[in-house]
Amino acid sequence: MSYAMSAARQGAIYQRLAGDAALEVLVGGHIYDAPPAGPLPGLYMTLGAETVRDASDADGHGAWHDLTLAVVSDAAGFQSAKQVAAAASDALNDAALALTRGRLVSLRFRRARARRESGGLRRIDMIFRARVEDA
């Protein structure tokens, strides 16, 4: 069951981000699994797509999760988005998160891409890699 811990891993990451003091100052409670309908704040984060690979072995079930966190800003430049991305990276890199199922072996930043989108938005997609094992 290589995908069995995905929801537990996502919940732990969301809780870590939502409880981080630096992110609270920067985005308040605007961290979403999916952006809500209606007007959006000028700066927010979303938990996005993921790619999962089986990493099971003779000792048990496990997986590699490459997950995307996005920072979206309507500011003219990237500065505020980069500050949020840095705070999120600080909160997650090598974080010891407790999962409701399984255990997190590691969580590390892999890469990011910053780009301009239509409508004047700025977006930074950060990819983190998590290794989980079913305990």
CATH number of the domain enclosing 19 = 3.30.2000.10
> What is the rounded average pLDDT for all residues in the chain?
94
Is residue 1 in some structural domain?
no
Give the pLDDT confidence of 38-84 residue by residue, as tens digits.
999 999 999 989 999 999 888 889 999 999 999 999 999 999 999 99
Query: What's this model's pTM, rounded to 2 decimal places?
Result: 0.93
Residue 107 neighbours by CB under 8 Å, 6+ apart: 13, 92, 93, 94, 95, 97, 128, 129, 130, 131
Residue 102 neighbours by CB under 8 Å, 6+ apart: 4, 5, 8, 9, 132, 133, 134, 135
pLDDT at 1 over 80: no
Q: Residue 88's domain spans which residues?
A: 6-35+42-133
Q: Which residue has the tokens 């991305």?
A: 85
- Type of residue found at 61: H
The domain tally of the chain equals 1
